[in-house]
């Protein structure tokens, strides 16, 4: 069967460097770091005392107070980003066939703060099982797309993909295929996460996964730098409205880009460490190119997973060199995690939005905080270090990899 074409018609972003897609983009181009000392809880006894929290965000500025209380932060963030993306797509909601509009979301953890707080409350009590009646619905990862569909009456496919930090890229690929195959006309997709909590910071610290550069939080996320020492935890949400091309064209929608393909793979190697030869990463990018009908030399820009970990950054760049060969040095490679931190299950969506906006504006955001050369990294690769670079981006790719060896890759093309 002939696959339908899929385009991007709406974007929404709630991030540590901007609470709208425009704020997010301007901060990216300006090389702004979202890292700062944690304000949500006392970090005196924690090895890492900073993160990329949202700034100047109050859920009740966007949501009814009673409704907000029924949601964990990760679901609140999802609602805010989805609202922006749906508004940006400029639908006449009375004319949309809501049976053919779905919500496919990504979350690596879900309601971590809700779970943490309910357990702490129980442990500090007399042993009586007094739990909030909204405990379970606030915690489960699938509640974010459920809330979006309930608000707008979208009755198409509705679920959450969970594949650690690849979750929202998985969701986007599922959404792409659902429209390609003719099952839906429109899908709201993306991801959200809210893991800057006592349990989140404590757990990642116990794994030795986080940077401990407490004396300089704003420079701690430093992908590809020789002195990198771990990732910086972030939070937020990214939402993308995907639409069947003819459906979008018929209603005169603004089209940001065409979503031309994606790929999935597994390292099948280790719970947390990447395969040292990047075999799974090579496979996922090759799968993505094949799925999109593209050649390696078609790609202008790659937003890497690039978490600022000693092993992961090197493995990914080696994989890029293997897949793209001599063309690798002509690609603008970057890692926007240097500014946003790692949004876990929301990372794929936020980084895809960065790629789409780079395509629209002809500028690739920088990889900030680079001061020290890593001798294990090919010096001929253009890592877009420290300053944004002008680039006519016709094809842009985004990589996301999750604990457990889950790999996802998505690619977008400018619609001529």
Tokens of 150: 């309930």
Give the count of alpha carbons within 13 A of 14, CB side only: 29
In the structure encoding, which two tokens stand for residue 209, read together?
């996964």
Whole-angstrom Cα distance, residue 243 to residue 194? Answer: 28
Instruction: Please enumerate in sequence order all residues whose Cβ is within 8 A of that of 133, keeping only pairs 6 or more positions apart, or say none.
Output: none
What's the token pair of residue 236?
A: 């937020």
Element holding 190 (H helix, E strand): strand 186-193
Token couple for 268: 């099948």
| CA angle (376, 229, 400) in 5-degree steps | 75
Whose tokens are 């969701």? That residue is: 171
Catalytic residues: 165, 305, 342
Alpha helix segments (H runs only) across 30-163:
65-69, 73-89, 112-123, 135-139, 143-152
SS3 letters for 317-374?
HHHHHHHHHHHHHHCEEECCHHHHCECHHHHHHHHHHHHHHHHHHCEECCECCCCCCC
| Per-position b or e across 21-41, b if 16+ CB within 10 A of its CB | bebbbebbbebbbbbeebebe
| 166, burial (CB in 10 Å: exposed 0-12, middle 13-18, buried 19+) | buried
What CA–CA distance (Å, rounded) separates 391 from 389?
Answer: 6
At residue 312, φ and ψ (nearest 5 deg) are -65, -45
Q: Could you tell me what percentage of the chain is helix, strand and coil, using 3-state DSSP and rounding each to the nearest 5? A: 40, 20, 40
C-alpha to C-alpha distance for 102 and 188, rounded to whole angstroms: 6
């Amino acid at each position: 069967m002939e696959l339908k074409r899929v385009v991007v018609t709406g974007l929404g972003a709630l991030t540590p460097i901007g609470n709208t897609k425009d704020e997010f983009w301007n901060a990216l181009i300006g090389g702004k770091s979202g890292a700062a000392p944690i304000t949500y809880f006392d970090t005196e006894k924690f090895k890492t005392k900073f993160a990329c929290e949202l700034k100047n965000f109050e859920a009740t500025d966007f949501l009814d107070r009673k409704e907000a209380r029924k949601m964990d932060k990760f679901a609140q963030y999802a609602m805010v980003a989805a609202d922006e993306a749906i508004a940006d797509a400029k639908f006449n909601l009375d004319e949309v066939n809501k049976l053919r509009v779905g919500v496919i979301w990504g979350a690596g953890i879900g309601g971590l703060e809700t779970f943490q707080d309910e357990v702490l409350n129980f442990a500090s009590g007399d042993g009586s099982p007094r739990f909030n009646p909204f405990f379970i619905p606030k915690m489960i990862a699938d509640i974010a797309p459920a809330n979006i569909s309930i608000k707008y009456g979208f009755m198409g496919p509705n679920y959450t993909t969970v594949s650690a930090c690849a979750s929202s890229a998985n969701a986007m690929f599922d959404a792409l295929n659902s429209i390609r195959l003719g099952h839906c006309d429109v899908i709201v997709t993306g991801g959200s996460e809210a893991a800057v909590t006592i349990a989140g910071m404590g757990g990642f610290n116990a794994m030795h996964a986080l940077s401990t550069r407490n004396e300089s939080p704003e420079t701690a996320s430093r992908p590809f730098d020789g002195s990198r020492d771990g990732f910086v935890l972030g939070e937020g949400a990214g939402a993308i409205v995907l639409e069947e091309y003819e459906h979008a064209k018929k209603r005169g929608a603004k089209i940001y880009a065409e979503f031309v393909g994606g790929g999935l793979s597994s390292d099948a190697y280790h719970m947390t460490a990447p395969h040292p030869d990047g075999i799974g990463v090579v496979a996922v990018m090759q799968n993505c190119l094949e799925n999109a009908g593209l050649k390696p030399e078609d790609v202008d820009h790659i937003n890497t997973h690039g978490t600022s970990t000693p092993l992961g950054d090197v493995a990914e760049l080696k994989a890029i060199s293997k897949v793209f060969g001599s063309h690798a040095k002509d690609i603008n490679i970057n890692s926007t995690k240097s500014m946003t931190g790692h949004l876990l299950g929301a990372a794929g969506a936020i980084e895809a939005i960065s790629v789409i906006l780079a395509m629209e504006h002809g500028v690739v955001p920088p990889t900030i905080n680079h001061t020290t050369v890593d001798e294990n990294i090919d010096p001929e690769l253009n890592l877009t270090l420290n300053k944004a670079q002008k680039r006519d981006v016709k094809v842009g790719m985004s990589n996301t990899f999750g604990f457990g060896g889950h790999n996802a890759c998505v690619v977008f093309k400018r619609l001529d």
